Amino acid sequence: MAVRWTEKQQKVIESRNRNLLVSAAAGSGKTAVLVERIIRMISEGEHPLDIDQLLVMTFTNAAAAEMRERIGAAVEQKLKERPEDEHLWLQAALIPQAMITTIDSFCLNIIRNHFNSLDIDPAFRIGDEGELALLKSDVLGEMLEACYEEGREEFAGFVEHFGRGKSDRGIEDVILQAWQFSQSHPWPGEWLLNCRAELEEGNLEEMEQSPWMQFLFQDTARQMEELSAQLRSALSVCGEENGPQAYEPMLLSDVGKLEAIEQAASQGNFEALYQSLKNMNFDRLASIRSKDIDGEKKAFVTACRDRVKKAVGKCRDLYGAQSPAEVVESIRGTKTVIAELLNLTGMFDEAYRAAKRERNVLDFNDLEHLALEVLLEKAPEEAQEQENKERRPSPAADELSRQFEEILVDEYQDSNYVQEALITSISRERFGHPNVFMVGDVKQSIYRFRLARPELFMEKYGSYSAEDGPYQMIELQQNFRSRESVLTSVNDIFYQIMTKNLGGITYTKDTALYPGASFQEVGGENVDETLKRKEGISLSAGTPTELLMVDTGAEALKQLDEDALDYTARELEARMIAKRIRELVSEEKGLLVWDKTKETYRRARLGDMVILLRSMTGWSEVFVNVLMNEGIPASAQTRTGYFNTVEVETVLSLLSVIDNPMQDIPLAAVMRSSIVGMDDEEMAWMMAAYKKNSKKGQDRGVYGAWTLWMDEEWEHPGTVPETAAASIRKKLAYLRELLGELRSEARHLPIHELLYRVYRKSGYYDYVSAMPAGETRRGNLDMLVEKAAAYEATSYKGLFHFVRYIEKLKKYDTDFGEASVAGEQDRTVRIMSIHKSKGLEFPVVFLAGMGKRFNKQDAYGRILLDADLGVAADHLDLDLRVKAPTLKKQALKRRMELETMGEELRVLYVAMTRAKEKLIMTASDKSLENKCSKWKDSMAVGGQIPYTVLATAGSYLDWVLMACPAVPKSHLEVTCVQVRELIGEEVGRQVMRRMTKEDLLAVDSARIYDKEAGEKLEQAVNYRYPHMDDTGLYAMISVSELKKQSQIGRAPEAIGTSGTDTEGAVLEALAEPEREMSGSSGRGALRGTAYHAALEHISFIHIQSLEETEQALEALVEKGYLDQESRELINGRDIWAFLKSPLGKRMAKAQEEGRIHKEQQFIIGIPAREMDRGDSDELVLIQGIIDAYLDEPDGLVLIDYKTDRVPGNDREQGAAMLAERYRVQLDYYERALTQLTGKRVKERMIYSLALQRSIKV
């Protein structure tokens, strides 16, 4: 059946001989329209084109392959209709060679065809990702070493500014950051030169003309204009009947002051702007007590003015904190360090290019830049005196322009300036015949981290005409994917929250989504047969969008037993989703979805569900575990975690030992692994005997102990039991034999062959196959062989370099993700990132993690870079040791924050538009009640929420709640789920699984049902499991739980099964003795968490007063390390007392020298008998987090912060009580730290914030 195209789609398909921008909304069928346009161009008209006269550019190989496949299928269909058409037969033959390609592949083709003009070897190859990371590291290390030897003053100042302790990681990071950013410019060298030229701005007048100062003026003017509009809306309320008219004079005065600031900013005069911001003040509103005044109107006006005051205060703090003279002085103070950064970036680029040239390797940045060198050339010397010195298209570009009748670019919203220069250079626009077709949707531009520039799309969107002409824009708004209920909720929300100032485009009726898909009404004939036969069941489809929220704050949790505190917010949200999934797939009341293949309605299945997350890290694992525990199969594939799998770590440790056995950590890991099989006790015996017998100054660690035990003439001390000694010698001898064979083979075998020998000779491959998730583990080891084979194709060779290669991949976070061994299943809930879901669709979408705070860390970097505004850094006063942001850095920070928020808006739009049948948004928040109260009234002015309000949002949940007051309840169902429902339901299910007392009493015990079965039953009942003591062991337990159990004795007995009162059983299951410690309620736990977060992130250096302490705490709130509620729980005097204490000063010195480690997570295994849990050797995994430790020359100093309130006035008694209370906890911490580092713990300290003193334990 022929496709029925809409009028606008038809227009897109048939328009020719022009630059055409198609703004294609989500689900508007852009790919189908693009394919149809191509098919018509090569099959219709008097002179149809050949497909090799078209250049089709996509952004991924998968998209290119799909496009080629669709075009091929369409041509085949045409041939069935017109088998005699020779032109079509030719197109079918040309499709495999047609230029349907990614931009990178197109650039590669240009380079291969013009290598002679680039002076490169035609046998070049594209470097492996890991190889290039290693090469960058080597080049950068060599360059820095040369700089240190040279000893330039500028370089020394640069190191002082950006260095971190004794490591070069800090200065390496900023150089690589600047270099990577420069590569997004068509001509990186010129961008660096322009940044250097900007440093020459010596006075305020020159700075006022700079791009960054112009942005500052525009931003301030925009804010003041919008804030004035908000006050005018408040004024209109004052003028209404029963309105607070007494407020009008003050509001009018406020508007005048805002207009004065706006005028100063619009005039581009910083002195005037500074003075107007400095002098801006808001007087107190007049007191109103009349009963005739409407309370809600009064509250609206005061709330509006408060928001405006807060926004103006932030603007003043951002742009008005420094006087003009201070601005100039601080920016001049960063000139040298930024100039050196640009210098080092250029040096690195040159050295890196030379290293690649030596190895005949290119990276993906090279592809685009070398292609540009081919396509654009500098003007001849005689034209250099002319004003226009820009590059012009080369003869090669002219040739390609003649070849391609049209250039078609998919996902144009994700282009950058390099790609734009490429496209422009080969188009026919310069000849007066524009011929570029661009399709995309700026609302779905979500690749800012890849330096995409959506403003390229918006420039054309704003300048192209909707009418026929050489530069035309067509809007595709009909959505052929989703139900109207989904689209209505998306529109209702985005009408209010997407604005040009924040999202890049104003969401209006011209850009909104309109239903194009037809869904049949649920009726008798179009329902699955299995449902027709059932009576009394619910049949519903197309139900409204939902917002499910769970309050995880102290007020919600304190109503429950302390067990509730063991659940994280993410776990509770996952439970909430699991509960809703069970309802959706219920046979009685589940959701109906349309089955295209059967053309009937059926119940939703697990395979219809997807959970979308903004970030997979730390979320997907929790969600998979919770869903699986709830009996719901779930899968998530990520690109991280590969190197952290035990099987990969073990094999990499063995390779390190094969290369060099004198490495303690890898050698100990191999000994402790299943390959050798030594346990912790044997390791301790081995090392203790060696330490006792090693000569002074000859301690060679684990390797020394190994060689000593292998010395046949050495007799172990009598303190080691004979059985233990025999076992140790046997295992170490096996390791010696294994390593001897493998080290011999490593000299001549390629790495991937060596890995096969490792797997076979150690038996480790078979071992992991038998472990839980064995198929995945085996796949991980297979992937390691693949990576070894890929490494062997690089310019690096040998085991030594392979070990380094892997270390660099770890260091630069080049992870591969765990191996995937299962495809998508109909019975599995998929979990994926929002970015991964782009371009896909799902019947039911759970948009989870809506309460997660936005990540704005990029805006708080030590250097900030912007393609238009340049480079900015903090000003460092080396004499006073004070670092402060310059005004330029503040401007760049503001720009980056706005761009980040705009990107987040677009990511939210992408996520919400993936749903076909049902959209469910979920969030957990510990201040949910306050948040809902904050946004209960509509903030919209003229139908849109001001961007100054939108910019204050901290999460997706904030935006949706802002929009909720104006969204009809029939379009969005908002539900607050109680924590008790989630936890109580779980315990209830466990209780109901047990046979009740009544069920047992109903059995006729006198009757013999089956003699043989009875005998078997009697044997089963009388069976005694031989390892019963081990059944009470935890697989994993936290140190805090061990400490608690050591204080309160044995846990309560298991829940009884008598009675049928489920609610009573649930309450009994939840019951547990109260904690001993005062302050251990929900708020006390939150207070402790807040203090720990502050001490983790606050710098112990440079803070010299209580005032600076308070400022540092506020900075943690700004950076997202603390929320406002946590900040309010922290007394700055406590932190300042700690910082000026002897321990605080000791830690500050350690931080300055790079010897402090904070929040060290650990998992260790300890035999159960060592934990007073019987005589079992079964290992119990113990997990915990060490607050901090110092690495001093003669040992480690273990530090634990405590916020417990101590009763009484006797400080010494209180200190002794704390020491005794936490002794067990610190015992485990010490043991973990020793295992992790191989170093002894010389001191154990508790710092009590209540007593404001340190306590040795």
Given this model, what pLDDT does residue 495 score? 96
| Same domain, residue pair 727 and 706 | yes
Spatial separation of the C-alpha atoms in residues 66 and 601, rounded to whole Å: 29
Indicate whether 134 belongs to any domain. Answer: yes
Spatial separation of the C-alpha atoms in residues 600 and 593, rounded to whole Å: 8
Instruction: Tell me which H or E stretch contains 1147.
Output: helix 1142-1152
State the sign of the Cα–Cα–Cα–Cα dihedral 364, 366, 371, 376.
positive
Indicate whether 954 belongs to any domain. Answer: yes
The four Cα atoms 332, 338, 339, 341 give a dihedral, to 10 degrees, of: 170
- Kindly indicate the confidence band of residue 1080, based on its pLDDT and cuts at 50, 70 and 90: very low
Burial zone of 604 (CB within 10 Å; 0-12 exposed, 13-18 middle, 19+ buried): buried
Instruction: Tell me which H or E stretch contains 170.
Output: helix 169-182
Question: 406-409 and 842-847: which strand pairing?
Answer: unpaired
Rg (CA), the chain: 34
- Kindly indicate the confidence band of residue 449, based on its pLDDT and cuts at 50, 70 and 90: confident
| Same domain, residue pair 90 and 134 | no
The whole-number average pLDDT for the span 353-381 is 91
Domain CATH code at residue 1190: 3.90.320.10
Domain C-terminal end among 441, 459, 476: 476
Least confidently predicted of 299-308, 1044-1053, 1081-1090: 1044-1053
Spatial separation of the C-alpha atoms in residues 1075 and 1080, rounded to whole Å: 7
Question: 545-551 and 972-977: which strand pairing?
Answer: parallel
pLDDT reading at 561 higher than 60: no
| Same domain, residue pair 861 and 974 | yes
Adjacent-strand bridge partners of 1183: 1038, 1163
The structure tokens 């500098």 sit at 378
- Other Cβ atoms closer than 10 A to 1049: 7
Tokens of 220: 């301030």
- For 1059-1092, what is the HEC assignment? CCCHHHHHHHHHCCCCCCCCCCCHHHHHHHHHHH
Mean of all residue pLDDT scores within the chain = 86
Please give the full DSSP string across 545-565, using - where no structure is assigned.
EEEEEEE-SHHHHTTS-GGGG
Given this model, what pLDDT does residue 524 score? 67
Given this model, what pLDDT does residue 1045 score? 52
Spatial separation of the C-alpha atoms in residues 676 and 670, rounded to whole Å: 7
- Kindly indicate the confidence band of residue 1235, based on its pLDDT and cuts at 50, 70 and 90: confident
Given this model, what pLDDT does residue 1056 score? 30
- Kindly indicate the confidence band of residue 1000, based on its pLDDT and cuts at 50, 70 and 90: low
Given this model, what pLDDT does residue 1075 score? 33
Cα distances (Å, whole numbers) of residue 157 to 328, 534, 863, 877, 909: 20, 79, 15, 11, 45
Spatial separation of the C-alpha atoms in residues 526 and 535, rounded to whole Å: 16
pLDDT reading at 87 higher than 90: yes
| Same domain, residue pair 700 and 806 | yes
| Same domain, residue pair 1173 and 1053 | yes
pLDDT reading at 1176 higher than 70: no
Question: Tens of pLDDT along 38-86?
Answer: 999 999 988 999 999 999 999 899 899 999 999 999 999 999 999 999 9
pLDDT reading at 587 higher than 80: yes
| Same domain, residue pair 269 and 169 | no
Domain CATH code at residue 568: 3.40.50.300
Given this model, what pLDDT does residue 168 score? 81
- Kindly indicate the confidence band of residue 579, based on its pLDDT and cuts at 50, 70 and 90: very high
Q: Phi-psi bin for 308: left (phi > 0), alpha (psi -120 to 50), beta?
A: alpha
Indicate whether 1010 belongs to any domain. Answer: no
Given this model, what pLDDT does residue 1081 score? 41
Q: How far is CA 1002 from the centre of its chain?
A: 56
| Same domain, residue pair 829 and 724 | no
Indicate whether 304 belongs to any domain. Answer: yes
Question: Does residue 659 contact residue 803 with C-beta atoms inside 8 Å?
Answer: yes
Spatial separation of the C-alpha atoms in residues 1235 and 992, rounded to whole Å: 43
Indicate whether 913 belongs to any domain. Answer: yes
CA angle 649, 650, 651 (to 5 degrees): 95
pLDDT reading at 749 higher than 80: yes
Q: What values do phi and psi take at 394, rounded to 5?
A: -90, 170
Given this model, what pLDDT does residue 591 score? 93
The whole-number average pLDDT for the span 1155-1177 is 73
Share of the chain above pLDDT 70, in %: 87
Cα distances (Å, whole numbers) of residue 1084 to 561, 935, 1249: 15, 28, 13
Q: How many domains does the chain have?
A: 7
Spatial separation of the C-alpha atoms in residues 713 and 729, rounded to whole Å: 13
What is the number of residues in the chain? Answer: 1257
Domain CATH code at residue 742: 1.10.486.10
Which one-letter amino acid corresponds to residue 53? Answer: Q
Question: Does residue 396 contact residue 422 with C-beta atoms inside 8 Å?
Answer: no
| Same domain, residue pair 865 and 947 | yes
Domain C-terminal end among 955, 979, 1003: 979
Question: Tens of pLDDT along 944-987?
Answer: 999 999 999 999 999 999 999 999 999 999 999 988 888 765 55
pTM for this structure? 0.75
Given this model, what pLDDT does residue 1142 score? 92
The whole-number average pLDDT for the span 459-473 is 96
- Other Cβ atoms closer than 10 A to 563: 14
- Kindly indicate the confidence band of residue 824, based on its pLDDT and cuts at 50, 70 and 90: very low
- Other Cβ atoms closer than 10 A to 95: 18
- Kindly indicate the confidence band of residue 1053, based on its pLDDT and cuts at 50, 70 and 90: very low
- For 740-775, what is the HEC assignment? HHHHHHHCCCCHHHHHHHHHHHHCHHHHHHCCCCHH
Indicate whether 198 belongs to any domain. Answer: no
Cα distances (Å, whole numbers) of residue 335 to 191, 214, 531, 879, 888: 17, 20, 74, 17, 12
Given this model, what pLDDT does residue 1001 score? 61
Q: Which residues contact 172 (CB under 8 A, 6 or more apart)?
A: 137, 140, 141, 144
The whole-number average pLDDT for the span 270-290 is 91
CA angle 902, 908, 914 (to 5 degrees): 140
- Kindly indicate the confidence band of residue 1035, based on its pLDDT and cuts at 50, 70 and 90: low
State the sign of the Cα–Cα–Cα–Cα dihedral 851, 857, 858, 859.
positive
Given this model, what pLDDT does residue 261 score? 97
Indicate whether 41 belongs to any domain. Answer: yes
Higher pLDDT, 603 or 811: 603
Indicate whether 26 belongs to any domain. Answer: yes
Instruction: Tell me which H or E stretch contains 1009.
Output: none
State the sign of the Cα–Cα–Cα–Cα dihedral 712, 714, 715, 721.
negative
Domain CATH code at residue 178: 1.10.274.50
The whole-number average pLDDT for the span 747-763 is 91
Domain C-terminal end among 782, 811, 840: 811
| Same domain, residue pair 73 and 143 | no
Burial zone of 111 (CB within 10 Å; 0-12 exposed, 13-18 middle, 19+ buried): buried
Please give the full DSSP string across 822-848, using - where no structure is assigned.
----TT-EEEEEHHHHTT--EEEEEE-
| Same domain, residue pair 1200 and 1054 | yes
DSSP state of 540: B
Given this model, what pLDDT does residue 1190 score? 93
pLDDT reading at 1143 higher than 50: yes
Given this model, what pLDDT does residue 1059 score? 37
Residue 301 structural domain: 205-321
Top mean pLDDT of 289-303, 390-404, 548-562, 641-655 is at 390-404
| Three-state DSSP state, 69 | helix
Higher pLDDT, 197 or 820: 197
Top mean pLDDT of 107-116, 1001-1010, 1221-1230 is at 107-116
The whole-number average pLDDT for the span 879-894 is 91
Given this model, what pLDDT does residue 998 score? 56
| Same domain, residue pair 1183 and 1047 | yes
| Same domain, residue pair 349 and 369 | no
Q: Which residues contact 562 (CB under 8 A, 6 or more apart)?
A: 1072, 1074, 1075, 1080
pLDDT reading at 189 higher than 90: yes
- Kindly indicate the confidence band of residue 386, based on its pLDDT and cuts at 50, 70 and 90: very low
Higher pLDDT, 219 or 1116: 219
Question: Tens of pLDDT along 5-41?
Answer: 999 999 999 999 999 999 999 999 999 999 999 999 9
pLDDT reading at 165 higher than 80: no
pLDDT reading at 498 higher than 60: yes
The whole-number average pLDDT for the span 805-809 is 76
Q: Which long-range contacts (CB under 8 A, 24 or more apart) does 208-215 make?
A: 208/268, 208/269, 208/270, 210/870, 211/868, 211/869, 211/870, 212/866, 212/869, 212/870, 212/872, 212/888, 212/891, 212/892, 213/268, 213/270, 213/888, 213/891, 214/268, 215/868, 215/869, 215/891, 215/895
